Each structure stands twice: as structure tokens, then as C-alpha cells.
């Protein structure tokens, strides 16, 4: 079964705006990761946040994690057309041995 | 340094035919994974190999077998393809005890008619 549920399913914004997508999960985790998938391509790792961290930044990306609510959010600031892709959260469950469980993804479209 | 490579890129099978999807990585990773991706479903783990010589079932293993041929290569076999196995298949690799992020291949788009 899917561990992560993401919302929104689809998001369309203008270039320069910020994009926020959310992920909820069900069980205890070691860490939560975000991946990007361009159309017709494999997934690319973006950022990882450990269960004892609350917020993490990488360039234009900001990830938050609330383990009490079992939720995470990914914020992309000053979006660009090149950010158009699907974004997936993935959870590494406690005792899961690096096995990831992926959410259903958010399709982001950034328009010029 | 090619990362994770997969062959073939596309394949069409008839129901009941068999085939093997090949995956290789050149990053000296211990762990390798096979996923399938269906529309609106995200990725689901079929099988994984935590290290050379071990394989374990994931969430959706029925109808598939795997072989960890050596540290570099991890193949996925469909013995008798069914239309329900129409999907995009991704191979990935990662360190076993190191950074947990996974590196993905470009995928194989399989259609079973």
C-alpha cells in the first residue's frame, strides 16, 4: 500500500511564484526524501530530511517535517519553467533497511 | 560514469511470453531495487537486493523473479507476462549503510497485449 499521500495532485503556477506540495505518511520513519521526475525519465533525488530534523534547505528548496502529524512539505521558491516535473515524497521506514515507500506524486507545471 | 543503466528502453510482449529486464550500476552500490510505476500510483517496490547474494520481496512481487548476478547487475524476469504487468519499470541502487538516497535508471516501458 502507498505510504505517502501527496497533495495537491496537480499544481500550475507562473514562473517566479513559489510552489508548495505536501506529503502525509502512516508509520514511523528514519527519514523522508523528495524526488523529481521529468516526463519520461527516471527519478532524481532532491533532498533528505531525517526524523530528528524539522526543517532543511538546499538552494531554492525548503523541506519541513512534522513527525507528530506524520507530514512533510516541499517548498520551491522563485520557480522556473525548468522546475516543471512530478515530485514524489518517499519514506524510509524505521527498520526498513533503506527500502523506500513512495507517495503518489504532485505534478507541477510552471508557466512562462 | 553511466550511473544506472537499463535495457531495453521499450518492449512489447504478448500475453504468456517471458522476458528479462536488465539493470547495471557502476557506483559500487551494495543495494539494488526494482520498482514499477503505474499512472496515479507512484512507484511500488517489486523486489530488492540489500547486498550481493540476497534478494527479498517488496510490495508487489507476484509474477516476477529476480537475480542478483553480481554486485553490479540485478535482473527482473517476467516468466509469463500478463496485461496487468503493463507498466514502466525502474531499477535503482543505493549504499546499504551509507547515504540512503537512491539513484534511478531511465526506465523500461513495457506493454503486454
| Confidence at B96, pLDDT banded by 50, 70, 90 | confident
What integer pLDDT is reported at residue B38 of this predicted model? 94
Q: Is the pLDDT of residue B87 over 90?
A: yes
A–B CB contacts, 8 A cutoff, strictly below: 61
Place of cell 526543517: A55
Q: For residue B50, which residues of chain A lie inside 8 Å, CB to CB?
A: 97-98
Percent of chain B with pLDDT over 90: 85
Confidence grade of residue A1 (pLDDT, cut at 50, 70, 90):
very low
**What mean pLDDT is reported for chain B?**
94
d(Cα A44, Cα A42) in Å, to the nearest integer? 7
Chain A contact for B44 (CB, 8 A cutoff): yes
Read off the pLDDT band of A94 (50, 70, 90).
low
Separation CA A78–CA A62 (nearest Å): 12
Tens digits of residue pLDDT in A42-61: 999 999 999 999 999 999 99
Among partner residues B31, B42, B101, which is closest to A88 by beta-carbon distance? B42
Q: Looking at residue A56, what is its pLDDT?
A: 98
pLDDT in tens, B31-66: 999 999 998 778 999 999 998 989 999 999 999 999
Return the closest-CA partner of residue B3 out of A61, A42, A97: A42
Question: Please, which pLDDT band fits residue A3 given cuts at 50, 70 and 90?
Answer: low
Interface residue A50 vs chain B (CB under 8 A): no
With contacts defined as CB-CB under 8 Å, which chain B residues touch A31? 100
Show Cβ contacts of residue A59 under 8 Å, excluding neighbours closer than 6 positions: none
Amino acid at each position: 500500500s502507498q505510504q505517502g499521500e501527496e497533495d495537491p495532485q496537480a499544481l500550475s503556477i507562473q514562473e517566479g511564484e513559489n510552489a508548495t506540495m505536501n506529503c502525509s505518511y502512516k508509520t514511523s520513519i528514519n527519514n523522508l526524501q523528495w524526488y523529481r521526475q521529468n516526463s519520461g525519465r527516471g527519478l532524481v533525488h532532491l533532498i533528505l530530511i531525517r526524523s530528528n530534523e524539522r526543517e532543511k534547505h538546499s538552494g531554492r528548496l525548503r523541506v519541513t517535517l512534522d513527525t507528530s502529524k506524520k507530514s512533510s512539505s516541499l517548498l520551491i521558491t522563485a520557480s522556473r519553467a525548468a522546475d516543471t516535473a512530478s515530485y514524489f515524497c518517499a519514506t524510509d521506514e524505521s527498520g526498513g533497511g533503506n527500502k523506500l515507500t513512495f507517495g503518489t506524486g504532485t505534478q507541477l507545471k510552471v508557466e512562462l | 560514469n553511466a550511473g544506472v543503466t537499463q535495457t531495453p528502453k521499450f518492449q512489447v510482449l504478448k500475453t504468456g511470453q517471458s522476458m528479462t529486464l536488465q539493470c547495471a550500476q557502476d557506483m559500487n552500490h551494495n543495494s539494488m531495487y526494482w520498482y514499477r510505476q503505474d499512472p496515479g500510483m507512484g512507484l511500488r517496490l517489486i523486489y530488492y537486493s540489500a547486498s550481493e547474494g540476497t534478494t527479498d520481496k517488496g510490495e508487489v512481487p507476484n509474477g516476477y523473479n529476480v537475480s542478483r548476478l553480481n554486485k553490479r547487475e540485478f535482473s527482473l524476469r517476467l516468466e509469463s507476462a500478463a496485461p496487468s504487468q503493463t507498466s514502466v519499470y525502474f531499477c535503482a541502487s543505493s549504499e546499504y549503510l551509507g547515504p540512503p538516497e537512491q539513484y534511478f535508471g531511465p526506465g523500461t516501458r513495457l506493454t503486454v497485449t
